[in-house]
Amino acid sequence: MSQNRREFLKTFAAIGATAATLTAVTPKVTKGKSTRPLSPNRKGVLVDTTVCIGCGKCEWACKTAHDIEPGSINDYNTKLTDNSQRRPSENALTVVNQIDISNANSGKIKLQCMHCEHPACESACIVGAITKQENGAVTWDTDKCIGCRYCMVACPFQIPAFEYHKALDPKIVKCDFCINRTTEGKLPACVEICPVGTLTYGTRDELVIEAKRRIGKDPDKYFNQVFGEYEVGGTSWLYLADKNLVDGVFPKLGTNPAPGVSESIQHGLFAYFVPPVALYALLGGVMWLSKNKEKNEGGH
Amino acid sequence: MRKLIYLILFAFLTTTFAQNKLSKLHSKQNLECTTCHECEVPTKTNPCLALCPRDKSKGISNVYKLEKAAKVFEINNIKGEKDIYAPVVFSHKVHAEMSEMNNGCITCHHYNPPGEIVKCTFCHEVDRNKSTINMPDLKSAYHRQCMDCHKTWEEKTKCENCHTLNNNYKPENSESSTVKINLPLKRPITKVYETEKYIKGKLVSFHHNDHVELFGLECTSCHKDESCQSCHNQKLDFKKTIDTTRHSRCESCHSAEIKNQCAKCHSEKETAPFNHFTNTGFDITKYHSKNSCKSCHAKAGNFSGLKAQCQSCHKWNGDNFDHSITGLKLSEDHIDLECSDCHENNNYKKPTCSSCHDEAEGFIVPQKLPGEKVN
């Protein structure tokens, strides 16, 4: 082959540059934000971690409501003291941890799906099995799912779990905001059982106002942030705490919706079929050029 | 039409009357504006009322008397689908008395508009799926109120500390069941404070038990603004105490000693608890053990100047002394005798019979008594 290494790299860089420019220019139209407007009545939950006593009743109620073997309700408050940061899993859609593992008197925090305003999992799902419902819940459709687990990778809070132990028909499992209960007019199971009212269920917009009212009323008690108000474009579950939850409990996340990054690359690459066509055209051109060169060289 | 006019007039009058009434009460109340109004300039249209005003400046104990309230309450206004727990029996009297060592009644009765004491349900809705998101529902409010203190000395959250299981509950035992869950009190016998500045006597021994049992001090005379767990926490170690209050707690009684008699309290080693015999030479264990300090040391703060002779306090002579208070009623033969006929040398403990009777014949107390025993 007459094309030397230097020339090959040059051509390759040129293709790369073209592709990159195309991705940078075209995606402006798509963005990460869902074009579907969010309902003004969408619900949320305000978690006041300063109130939580860590009894674990919400974990028990959640399992009971989702047909997971719950065990004895009396065993739950001991789970907190095992000094580990547990994660929601296929056997526990929600867990309560100590905010500060080393300090038994620190606040307690309940973790579950945050039900993002612009869910990355919904965006990442290639078959549309995950839906942001009108009431704010992000739900998962078992019939559509193909088990690719892209949603698990996409979730900025690492919430969706997968039933790895099931050889046949494993499912993606995560908190569904008790959609079956809320459509009947009931409260989510965890909200209903909480003995101290850590969890407040209501319209998300009102909850944000209420959260700020509580901070304003007691500025010494609360860290001045409603976690979830703006994080990854906003979440349905909002948190109040006496300290900064970022970098302790939650990862540091921007205020842009999580799908923004992934979608701009994905959608950009395939927008109007321009990048693939351009790529093939380029490749064709390179082939054509090198073919000509070969001919010329052969003519000698 | 006339009816309508009357109706409007009636509505107008009642509203203006109600407003006048409120404004009068306003002025009487002597409150900070910010206690009830959240914004700086409240207007009639936007009074920006605080949702849950907590006025800590004054208690309600000045207005209401504890004796009028029930001793125990049965809290049974929350019903669930499946009630595994029986109604909670709340010992109001005990808690109210304890609260005097903290914030007083206002610890729980945090909202007190003029008039009758408002029930919790006045603000806190029973239904969890409630209309307002600003206020905890009744169940949450109860739990928060109780656990705010109770959880501080219990690491785990034990429901059974307050709730009895439904099948173990008997309403007739409600009063006695509060005794069962009563938290044990941990009291020091002696507390030794270590002082840093006073080098001549670094240790101050405070005999807590003496002050309570012997001198009859009320808890509230020392314990103010105290958290519950300073007495109820079973893990407390009273020996390791660093003095933070200095002289302020002792001052109300020991002001004279604090001024110029440091060595009365400050010592190089732990002192022994107060003993009336070793400290003053007068044994009170036999006849005066049930007396309070005041019954002899009548002058407040002055404990000196009393003599050990009975007559220095008791104005007794042979005529006016009723011997039966000693437990022995004298017979008619003995009642007219002089005290010293039996009690020689002012010793009233042991009588002798030998001045009249022959001891060889068995006239010895207590084998033979000069009267009959009474209780």
The alpha carbon of residue A281 and the mean position of all alpha carbons in its chain are separated, in whole angstroms, by: 37
Q: By the 8 A CB rule, do A256 and A232 touch?
A: yes
CB contact under 8 Å between A195 and B134, yes or no, is no
Q: Which residues of A touch B157 (CB under 8 A)?
A: 53-55, 77
> Does residue B172 register a pLDDT over 70?
no
Q: Any alpha helices (H) in A46-198, and if so which ranges?
A: 57-65, 120-124, 150-154, 179-183, 189-193
Query: In chain A, whose CA is at the least distance from the CA of B140?
Result: A196
Q: Which of A273, A230, A262 is nearest to A114 (CA)?
A: A230
Query: In chain B, whose CA is at the least distance from the CA of A212?
Result: B134
Q: By the 8 A CB rule, do A97 and A108 touch?
A: yes
Q: Tell me, what's the pLDDT at B187?
A: 80
d(CA A176, CA A202): 16
- C-alpha distance from residue A2 to each of A282, A293, B142, B297, B339 (Å): 19, 8, 86, 121, 143
Return the minimum-mean-pLDDT range out of A189-198, B43-52, B120-129.
Answer: B43-52
Q: Tell me, what's the pLDDT at B148?
A: 81
Q: Does residue B49 belong to any structural domain of this protein?
A: no
- C-alpha distance from residue B58 to each of A75, B24, B49, B93, B225 (Å): 43, 19, 20, 20, 14
Q: Does residue B104 belong to any structural domain of this protein?
A: yes
Q: Tell me, what's the pLDDT at B20?
A: 46
Q: By the 8 A CB rule, do B208 and B194 touch?
A: no
Shared-domain flag, residues B295 and B349? no
Q: What is the pLDDT of residues B317-327, one digit of tens each?
A: 767 788 887 88
Q: Does residue B17 belong to any structural domain of this protein?
A: yes
Q: Tell me, what's the pLDDT at B276?
A: 82
CB contact under 8 Å between B133 and A46, yes or no, is yes
Q: By the 8 A CB rule, do A45 and A207 touch?
A: yes
d(CA A198, CA A61): 15
Mean pLDDT of chain B: 76
CB contact under 8 Å between A55 and B141, yes or no, is no
- Number of Cβ atoms within 10 Å of the Cβ of B348: 12
DSSP class of residue B239 equals T
Of B281 and A252, the one with more pLDDT: A252
Shared-domain flag, residues B264 and B333? no
Amino acid at site B227: S
> Does residue A255 register a pLDDT over 80?
yes
Q: What is the pLDDT of residues A114-139, one digit of tens each?
A: 999 999 999 888 899 999 999 999 99
Q: Tell me, what's the pLDDT at A29?
A: 38
CA distance B14 to chain A (A): 34
- The arithmetic mean of pLDDT across residues A16-43, rounded, is 57
The band of A1, judged by pLDDT with boundaries at 50, 70 and 90, is very low
CB contact under 8 Å between B134 and A210, yes or no, is yes
d(CA B252, CA A53): 41
Q: Which of B145, B104, B106, B105 is nearest to B124 (CA)?
A: B145
Phi-psi region of B198 (alpha: psi -120 to 50; beta: other; left: phi over 0): beta
Residues B103-132: b if buried by 16+ CB within 10 A, e if exposed:
ebbbbbbbbbeeeeeeebeebbbeebebee
CA distance A195 to chain B (A): 6
The alpha carbon of residue A20 and the mean position of all alpha carbons in its chain are separated, in whole angstroms, by: 27
Q: Tell me, what's the pLDDT at A298?
A: 58
Of B180, B208, B223, which residue sits at a domain end?
Answer: B180
- Percent of chain A having pLDDT more than 70? 81
The band of A88, judged by pLDDT with boundaries at 50, 70 and 90, is very high
Of A51, A192, A206, the CB nearest to B133: A206
Q: Does residue B186 belong to any structural domain of this protein?
A: no
Q: Between vectors from CA A193 to CA B79 and to CA A184, what angle results, nearest 5°?
A: 85
Q: Which residues of B touch A54 (CB under 8 A)?
A: 157
The band of B346, judged by pLDDT with boundaries at 50, 70 and 90, is confident
Q: Tell me, what's the pLDDT at B280?
A: 81
Count: domains in chain B: 5
Q: Tell me, what's the pLDDT at A23?
A: 46
> Does residue A47 register a pLDDT over 60?
yes
Q: What is the pLDDT of residues B350-367, one digit of tens each?
A: 788 887 888 777 787 777
- Which among B183-187, B259-263, B305-309 has the top mean pLDDT? B259-263
Domain parsing of chain A, residue ranges? 43-257, 260-289
Q: What is the pLDDT of residues A171-230, one digit of tens each?
A: 999 999 999 999 999 999 999 999 999 999 999 999 999 999 999 888 999 999 999 999
Q: Six-digit token pair at B356?
A: 């009249």
Q: Tell me, what's the pLDDT at A2?
A: 47
Shared-domain flag, residues B71 and B170? yes
Q: By the 8 A CB rule, do A115 and A177 touch?
A: yes
| Boundaries of domain holding B341 | 323-373
- Peptide linkage before B366 cis (omega within 30 of 0): yes
Shared-domain flag, residues B119 and B176? yes
Q: Does residue B38 belong to any structural domain of this protein?
A: no
Tell me the β-bridge partners of B266: B204
Cβ pairs A/B, distance under 8 A: 47
Q: Tell me, what's the pLDDT at B165?
A: 75
The band of B11, judged by pLDDT with boundaries at 50, 70 and 90, is low
Q: Does residue B50 belong to any structural domain of this protein?
A: no
Shared-domain flag, residues B172 and B70? yes
Q: Which residues of B touch A195 (CB under 8 A)?
A: 139-140, 143
Q: By the 8 A CB rule, do B222 and B212 touch?
A: no
Of A55, A197, A210, the CB nearest to B137: A197
CB contact under 8 Å between A196 and B143, yes or no, is yes
CB contact under 8 Å between A200 and B151, yes or no, is no
CB contact under 8 Å between A55 and B134, yes or no, is no
DSSP class of residue A227 equals B
CB contact under 8 Å between A197 and B136, yes or no, is yes
Of B130, B151, B180, which residue sits at a domain end?
Answer: B180
Q: By the 8 A CB rule, do A152 and A158 touch?
A: yes
Q: Does residue B226 belong to any structural domain of this protein?
A: yes
CB contact under 8 Å between A210 and B139, yes or no, is no
Of A44 and B222, the one with more pLDDT: A44
For residue B202, report the phi and psi dihedrals to the nearest 5 degrees.
Answer: -75, -20
Q: By the 8 A CB rule, do A238 and A227 touch?
A: yes
Q: Which residues of A touch B144 (CB under 8 A)?
A: 51, 196-197
Q: Tell me, what's the pLDDT at A138?
A: 95
Full DSSP string of B53-100: ----SS-STTTS-GGGS-SEEEE-----SS--BPPEEEEHHHHHHHHT
Q: Which residues of A touch B38 (CB under 8 A)?
A: 217
Q: Tell me, what's the pLDDT at B156?
A: 56
Q: Does residue B19 belong to any structural domain of this protein?
A: yes
Q: By the 8 A CB rule, do B327 and B373 touch?
A: yes
Q: How far apart are the first and last CA of chain A?
A: 16
d(CA B206, CA B266): 10
Tell me the CATH number for domain A43-257: 3.30.70.20
CB contact under 8 Å between B157 and A197, yes or no, is no
Q: Tell me, what's the pLDDT at B17?
A: 47
CB contact under 8 Å between B156 and A191, yes or no, is no
Return the minimum-mean-pLDDT range out of A98-102, A259-263, B180-184.
Answer: B180-184
**Chain A contact residues (CB < 8 Å to B):** 46, 51, 53-55, 77-78, 81, 104, 185-187, 191-192, 194-197, 200-202, 206-207, 210, 213, 217
Return the minimum-mean-pLDDT range out of A59-73, A221-235, A279-293, B334-348.
Answer: B334-348
CB contact under 8 Å between B141 and A202, yes or no, is no
Of B163 and A87, the one with more pLDDT: A87
Amino acid at site B222: C
d(CA B92, CA B145): 13
